[in-house]
Amino acid sequence: MRKIFYLLLCLVLVQPVIAKATDLQLVELRTFPSFTPVNLSTLPKDKPLYVKMWASWCKPCIEQMPHFQSLYQRFGDKVNFIAVNIDFNEKPEEVSAVIERFGLTMPIWTDAKGQLALELGLVGTPYSVLMNNQGQQVYTSHESDKVLGGFIERLAQGQNLPLASSDSVSVSEQNRLLVPYQRGEHYLFFSATWCDWYLADSRPKMAAQCKNAQQGLDSLAAKLPNVNWTGIVNHLWTDDKALAEFNVKYEMKLPFKIDHNGVLFQQFNIRKIPVLLKVKDGKVLTEISDFTDSAAVIARLKKAH
């Protein structure tokens, strides 16, 4: 049994990096807490849909939960409500704590692969997306206010609303962003400009791991100087100014870039940070999340073929 597990793990690690067209209704999600596969197509098709994307460590998300629950109690019989946890830097027990704290009674799902976030153009949580009963977006917002409530009420009344523009990235654009990593050998370090300070209260261990890994990254790269090192920061709540401040703070010599639209995080299935990948010709050879022993990290990188 153990041999089969390791074989399956290897098969996952060597999948080529190629984006494919995805039907939003068929994006694989998971129910919570059973983690049973599910998708939007399983919902009643005669109702509009409210998707709220959130994280247990996101402070504004927590602040919005009472209003979210009250909207569900008011409109849940006429509108499909789904609370989709983005499953990034997440812990099941923390998700359960939020559900219990606010008495959430709507379905709770998780975006286990980050695909829904990519398809909906997520740039930060909390994020509310309203769709008509044809699955078309009519409103998006990071706020939970009277405007959102008004849109939900109009949908519940069966009104036809104008379609909203989408921030999702096309498949062709996704593949353009992936092209540099489909040939040659690359060492990709995934992190976020905010993981060391924003998570300090809610995820102190993870915040410390980010800080330590980022402080030691340049010296780690110096031990393997003849390879392509790239730092990639998550696009959530991040702009060029935040990246510039991050580079100054850690005196980074390695080049860092923002993963706009979350394409690389999704394609490489990065669900926790910090993480270092060794990629060759579009295939992941090894994944490292423990940076406490730099010698061990170097050994794993050299060994991976």
Per-residue pLDDT, 9: 34
Best mean pLDDT range from 13-22, 173-182, 249-258: 249-258
- Whether the CA torsion 295, 296, 300, 301 is positive or negative: it is negative
Residue 247 has pLDDT above 90, yes or no: yes
Confidence of residue 19 (pLDDT cuts 50, 70, 90): low
pLDDT confidence of residue 243: 96
- Confidence category of residue 192, pLDDT binned at 50, 70, 90: very high
DSSP secondary structure string for all residues of 127-187: EEEEE-TTS-EEEEES--SHHHHHHHHHHHTT---PPPP--PPPHHHHHHHHGGGSSSEEE
Tens digits of per-residue pLDDT, 87-116?
A: 999 999 999 999 999 999 999 999 999 999
User: Would you say residue 17 has pLDDT above 70?
Assistant: no
Burial of 22 (0-12, 13-18, 19+ CB in 10 A): middle
Find the mean pLDDT for residues 159-173.
Answer: 83
Separation CA 195–CA 208 (nearest Å): 9
pLDDT at 20: 56
| Average pLDDT in the chain | 90
pLDDT at 170 (0 to 100): 82
pLDDT at residue 21, as a whole number:
52
| Count of C-beta atoms within a 10 Å radius of residue 194 | 18
Average pLDDT over residues 39-44: 95
Q: How confident is the model at residue 164, as a pLDDT?
A: 85
Label residue 234 by pLDDT band (50, 70, 90).
very high
- pLDDT tens digit string along 108-164? 999 999 999 999 999 999 999 999 999 999 999 999 999 999 999 999 999 999 998
Rounded Cα gap, residues 35 and 85, in angstroms? 12
At 253, give phi and psi (nearest 5°). Answer: -100, -30
| 109-120 burial: b if 16+ Cβ within 10 Å, else e | bbbbbbbbbbbb
- Residue 169, pLDDT above cutoff 90: no
pLDDT band at 10 (very low <50, low <70, confident <90, very high): very low
- Beta strands in the chain, from DSSP E residues, in sequence order: 29-31, 37-38, 49-54, 80-85, 108-110, 127-131, 137-141, 185-191, 228-234, 256-259, 275-280, 283-288
Helical axes 59-75 vs 92-102, angle rounded to 10°: 50
Q: How confident is the model at residue 190 (pLDDT cuts 50, 70, 90)?
A: very high
The pTM for the full model equals 0.84
Tokens of 208: 């410390």
pLDDT for the residue numbered 1: 42
Q: Is the pLDDT of residue 4 over 80?
A: no
pLDDT at 12 over 50: no
Rounded to whole angstroms, the maximal C-alpha distance in the chain is 63
Least confident window among 20-24, 118-122, 200-204, 236-240: 20-24
**286 forms bridges with which residues in the sheet?**
278
Start-to-end C-alpha separation, the chain: 24
